[in-house]
A and B are shown apart, each in its own frame.
Chain A
Amino acid sequence: MHGVLPPQTPDPAPAPRAQSLLRFFTCGSVDDGKSTLIGRMLYDTNSVFEDQLEALERDSKKFGTQGANLDFALLLDGLSAEREQGITIDVAYRYFGSNKRAFIVADTPGHEQYTRNMATGASTAELAIILIDARKGILPQTRRHSFIVSMLGVRDIVLAVNKMDLVNFDETVFNDIVASYRTLTAGLGFAHVVAIPLSARDGDNIATTSARTPWYRGPSLLAHLETVEPVAASEERAFAMPVQWVNRPDLDFRGYAGTIATGEIRRGDEIVALPGARRSKVARIIGPDGERARALAGEAVTITLTDEIDISRGDVLATTPHHLKPRRNMEARLLWMIDAPLAPGRDYIIQLATGTANARIAALHHQIDVESFQPRPAQVLTMNQIGFVSLACDKALVMADYRQDRDLGAFILIDRLTNQTAALGVIEPAVAAPAELAIAPAMAPSLWDRIGAQMDGADALLSVALTLVVYGLSGSAPAALVVGGVDLILRPIVAMLRAESRARRPAAPDENNESGAGI
């Protein structure tokens, strides 16, 4: 491709509008070509207007990093600082579509200091495209992003192995990267990992499958995005709706407005209002188009009840609230997002669905090394670090585990003095004690992960270090010794098995990578 644009065929008759919507986001290391990939998708779906293309040609000459070629990344990097530095700082949202589907894509930064923006993009996504530079393979950022994607519950992954043109479209390079990635992420709970070899710059396997990868039999990226049915964000099926606003225009009408988190509600259903456990029946459901007999998750409705009971913002209407509990204390994973570090004992404002309270960091159990997926002892959390904490609120908030309910299991912490959004967090299951969570879930991925490297003396040291970490967290010397010992013994064995499986593994376009372990 050169500075002159190939002619785009204008549609003589506009195609009918897409029926469904997919929200996805891209992440990867710096210079893996995320912005280029999205720019290319916009271009290949005829979503770039002529005046924008003219501006792109001008900008490519002025700021471009592609020589005489169009720098598609400049379609996206909208802030002056980004254009000057040639990097993505903030998450940018783009909108395009084919005749099958509308897409909202979040283009998220690769730099570690913008991890919080990447997490923000992930929080609303149904699918993640994790970009890898074929020349570089899996990098620390790949691990970090995969971990955060998993933490935020995105379970459909596209592993986009980019810059295949720079490795001569070598199938072996592709297969090795895919095999390593599957091993790395085996414990992350992804439902599907679909690997596609790409050249975003040249357009290979973006809109159509490329003749330069005859060995690849899977779909093009856009074909996959058009047809994929992502797994549901929330596992829970019972009805729950956080009350957002009480609508009371006059004495005859009292409605509870909100967006339904999970499940379905019908006129006449019995409901309970949490945290108070007051019961009533649904009298009316008012949707955006008026009176309704039923409403579903994701819809913004107003519900009236047959009884006058006292309900206010922050309460939750539910039918069978087995997964919901009013709680003052909970365990959660936090991603810290501001300069001032988290310190145990400090008070923050927690905002969880529509409820707010004062929340104290009762304990910081550990930090999670997002590259090795290992717990590490920590006194503080600094910006972009993830930690496992106990929170104590000054009043009960109705909540669920994040896995079950993305709305009632997610929260932000707000700094009381500056009003900054200090952290995002997800509620973890309450049953397990923090120390157990610290060890068990981290074990499997850590083993799989680190045995990827060649065995050397450092590995023995790592096992000793792991033993000490486990001891520090659990307070149990026997447990720590067992963990460390198993780690040390298993390393060579697993490394051998892994080398074997890598040699045998074909380039499967789609593989169910379900693993109950999670982290």
Chain B
Amino acid sequence: MSLEHLLKLEAESIHIFREVAATCERPVILYSIGKDSAVLLHLAMKAFYPANPPFPLLHVDTTWKFREMIAFRDQRAKELGLDLIVHINQEGVRAGIGPIASGSRLHTDVMKTQGLKQALDLYKFDAAFGGARRDEEKSRAKERVFSLRSAEHRWDPKNQRPEPWRLYNTRKMPGESFRVFPLSNWTEADVWDYILQENIPVVPLYFAAPRPVVERDGALIMRDDERLPLKPGEEVRTRMVRFRTLGCYPLTGAVESTASTLPEIIAEMRASRSSERQGRMIDHDGSGSMEAKKQEGYF
């Protein structure tokens, strides 16, 4: 049986997808492979059924994603018959930017934020769907569903358009674009309940399994390949872990867990006393840091 409030959230998200299709010229789904993207994709399929969504998927690859994520990405796009665009910031690659060599802040800015801007400019996308939710972070709580970005991709939090009712003003100047967030009103719990209800495939990294991890700065980092150098005294151990969020593997902390099914994950999440972004290293630069990143063009 469906939960009433999930039905309402689903209807709202579908409405947002259709509004973009009807009013924007070159939309794209920013597909980041995680659970929110999985739900986003599922809703897009529903919104336009029996047609396929009238827009491609874009993955901005930082080259440091978990290998399982990349395999999952390619498989999903193929199964659903969707166009997948993978963009890598080659300038960043040539400059040797990476989370270990350059630190999380520079890496995220160059490979993720700048990479995204390059791709949007290259393909002239005027609306990019993202899976961000307002419950993730305080500055996201103030974000509109249709978030207008300047030609330079900047977000102006003080000059956001009011969004009364279901009326989205989708007009923009040449060069301006929208970030569109159909999952704005969803919570982490809603996402998991919906994944369970709809039986949506997600990356296996969300489920607990024995994985090679090192303990670093209080976080459990999975050694997904040889690029993660071990510091003196560090030791790779196989531990039963899973991930609450997925990003670049050296920047994403695992949690010890035995939850290997969706109901177990949901039970664990509801009993948890820490937020999902706790495992994200890039968020720990002070409370205003997400707002600052977003102003610079971060999703």
Contact = CB atoms under 8 A, between A and B. Distances in A.
Residue of A49, A75, A95, A354 with most chain B CB atoms under a 10 A cut-off: A95
A65 interface: no
Contacts of A49: 272-275, 278
Contact of A298 (B11, B47, B275): B11
B218 interface: no
Nearest to B52: A249
A302 B49 contact: yes
A78 B15 contact: no
Contacts of B267: 14
A286 B49 contact: yes
A259 B11 contact: yes
A244 B50 contact: no
B141 A50 contact: no
Interface in B121-147: 134-135, 137-142
A90 B8 contact: no
A195 interface: no
Nearest to A258: B18
B11 A299 contact: yes
A253 B50 contact: yes
Interface in A209-252: 244-245, 247-249
A460 interface: no
A305 interface: no
Contacts of A117: 162
B77 to A, nearest CB: 19
B289 to A, nearest CB: 10
B155 to A, nearest CB: 11
Contacts of B9: 21
B287 A55 contact: yes
Interface stretch (A157-165, A418-426, A474-482): A418-426
Contacts of A52: 275
A407 B166 CA distance: 8
B122 to A, nearest CB: 25
Contacts of B157: 79, 81, 90
A90 B15 contact: no
Contacts of A77: 138
Nearest to A412: B167
Contact of B189 (A10, A17, A51, A300): A17
A168 interface: no
B2 to A, nearest CB: 8
Nearest to B42: A288
A288 B274 contact: no
A255 B22 CA distance: 14
Interface stretch (B61-69, B102-110, B169-177): B169-177
Give the size category of A's interface with B: 35 or more
A19 interface: yes
A20 to B, nearest CB: 5
Contact of B187 (A15, A59, A90, A95): A95
B10 to A, nearest CB: 6
Contacts, number: 172
B51 A93 contact: no
Contact of B18 (A244, A288, A351): A244
A270 B157 CA distance: 47
A257 interface: yes
Contacts of B15: 244, 259, 300
Interface string A138-162: 0000000000000000000000000
Contact of A288 (B11, B137, B142): B11
Contacts of A290: 49
Interface in A394-415: 406-407, 410-412, 414
Given A120-B162, A424-B162, A18 B291 contact: no
Contact of A94 (B10, B19, B141, B270): B141
Contacts of B287: 55, 59, 83
Interface in A107-146: 116-117, 119-120, 123-124
A8 B271 CA distance: 12
Nearest to A247: B51
A97 to B, nearest CB: 8
B95 interface: no
A120 B135 contact: no
Given A79-B291, A298-B8, A414-B171, A51 B158 contact: no
B151 to A, nearest CB: 13
A381 interface: no
A92 interface: yes
A308 interface: no
B51 A102 contact: no
Contacts of B184: 93
B21 interface: yes
Interface in B210-235: none
A55 B267 CA distance: 25
Please list the 4 inter-chain residue pairs (A to B) with the smallest Cβ-Cβ separation, ordered nearest first. A78-B138, A21-B5, A14-B270, A249-B51
20 contacts: A11-B271, A15-B270, A17-B3, A20-B5, A21-B4, A21-B9, A49-B273, A49-B274, A50-B274, A75-B138, A78-B141, A79-B139, A93-B134, A94-B141, A95-B187, A102-B5, A247-B48, A253-B50, A286-B49, A313-B22
Interface of B: 3-5, 7-12, 14-15, 18-19, 21-22, 46-52, 134-135, 137-142, 157-158, 160-167, 169, 171-173, 184-185, 187, 189-190, 193, 266-267, 270-275, 278, 287-288, 291
Given A21-B4, A337-B162, 14 more contacts: A55-B287, A78-B142, A80-B288, A90-B142, A102-B190, A124-B164, A244-B22, A286-B50, A288-B14, A300-B14, A349-B171, A353-B167, A411-B167, A419-B169
